[in-house]
Amino acid sequence: MPAFYHRPGIIGVCQSEEMPELPEVERARKLIQDTCRGYKIASVDSTPDTIVYTGGDDHEAFACPILSAKEMLGRTIESCERKGKIFWMNLSGQGRMPVMHFGMTGMVILKGVEPAWYVRRHKEVAKAWPPRFYKFALKLEPQEGSVSDEPRELAFIDSRRLGRLRLLPAPVHEHPPISLLGFDPVLNHPSFEEFKGLLAKKKGTVKHVLLDQSFSAGVGNWIADEILYQSRIHPATPVPALSETQLEALHHYTRAIPLRAVEVNAEHKQFPSDWLFRHRWGKGTREKKSKTAKAKAAKRGNGKGQEGSEEEEGIDKGQGEEEGAQPTGKRVLALPDGSPATIEFIDVAGRTSAFVPQLQVMPEGFQIKIPVKRGKKHKKGDSDTEESELSSEADVKVPVVAVPPKRRAVRTSKVKTEELSESPASPVKRKRKAPLEGHKNKDKDKVPRRRRSGAGIARSRVKDSSELSDAPDE
């Protein structure tokens, strides 16, 4: 049994906030190839998902008793292939093949074996079956010639629903989206001259070109950053500005980086210690976490900061995306002269790009355009010494409150901050009617709480008229 099936539980290929790239997808392909080849699909259990299932297919196309009899049910898994970040199972007999793409959190799980986690673990390790967030689960039966004689179950899960599942006819590589992919750096890397010819057709930054799946299928964010770091090329360098030496280095490392990652089965702890990948995840927070974890370990009395332990690396088991990424005993990435390198992060091609400014320099005559945050424009005549936008002259909007339709005429108002500091004007008092004569209310300025009945008011009026009639005539 391969080395990555060493512990009981559930095995799979999982991703962190970074998308699964060529090495992680290749690990999933090898998982199916090494454990499920020759097995017959006895049953298919799928869940509805209008986002993950695509290409005109839904979950019923995978598991419906009518459709699955022609598509997946009863067919044998002959092999599993991959190109770029897409992989598929070749099934025996007539019918289409299941094609899978992980998205960001896609994962293939084999029941009964511990998952081979990527940089970050899932918050919940699936113990029940079918696992949480599964899209389809296969019950597999061994046959003559299968890799094992034990029944097995395989599931595809995706918590964020950014993966894709579809059915394509054979040969799969002749149909979109696989037919639209560029070269695979591991499977069919082009020659240097072909590589230069492909680059000549591209525009924009070199990081953007490497992420273009129609150029290099399978290269994602961290692989592109690693290729550019090893090639000593700034990620924002325009493609036409690349020198011949840089092109040669780019051609070499575009294959060397993913090939090395595939050789160690995408185990990041086995990546070379001088890779940028081993140092990029902490973003300056590793030392603080390391001290905290070592203090907790010393307090518990287990490990006490032993060299090579998870506590020394500042990681609790299953805690964060940097678990085991940093090489033991090496806190920082070193420059060729041995001094510590500085890792900076900028946005290139819409992705967070890590680079070392001491080694990756922009070509002469080019500079990085830093995006400027758009705010309120200053009035003419404003100088740097004048007050900011939140000065006393700035306008402050009163929050809008929902009001009935008849009162919508007055919804918002603008007042100056200096007006807010002044004392509010005294409210206008309504003119109150004088209380009726003979009422016992001592406060004559207030309207009595209870009004007299109509009979009482009538008697008062009669009394008033009688007094007027008794008055002597002038």
Q: Which residues are catalytic?
A: 20-21, 85
Which residues, in sequence order, are bridge partners of residue 11?
110
Q: Are 124 and 132 in contact (CB under 8 A)?
A: yes
Tell me how far apart the alpha carbons of residues 341 and 334 are, in angstroms, rounded to a whole number: 5
Q: Are strands 134-141 and 152-158 parallel, antiparallel or unpaired?
A: antiparallel
Tell me how far apart the alpha carbons of residues 189 and 185 are, in angstroms, rounded to a whole number: 5
Q: Are 416 and 392 in contact (CB under 8 A)?
A: yes
Please report, to the nearest 10 degrees, the dihedral formed by the alpha carbons of residues 375, 377, 383, 384 taken in order: 10
Q: How many CB atoms lie within 10 A of CB 61?
A: 21
Strands, DSSP E only, in 269-406?
A: 344-348, 351-355, 395-397
Q: Are 354 and 322 in contact (CB under 8 A)?
A: no
Among 72, 62, 65, smallest CA distance to 93 is for 72
Q: How many CB atoms lie within 10 A of CB 301?
A: 7
Q: Where are the alpha helices (DSSP H) in 312-453?
A: 417-421
DSSP reduced 3-state for 386? coil
- Reported as half-sphere exposure (CB side, CA atoms, 13 A), residue 472 has a value of 1
Q: Which DSSP string corresponds to 52-94?
A: TB-TT--HHHHH-HHHHHHHTTT-BEEEEEEETTEEEEEESSS
Query: Can you list the pairs that 417-425 forms with residues at least 24 positions away whose Cβ atoms lie under 8 Å?
Result: 417/392, 418/392, 420/396
Q: Which two tokens stand for residue 202?
A: 């591209």
Burial 140-175 (b: 16+ CB within 10 A, else e): bebeeebbeeeebbbbbbbbebbbbbbbbeeebeeb
Strand order of the β-sheet with 40-46 is 11-12, 106-110, 152-158, 134-141, 40-46
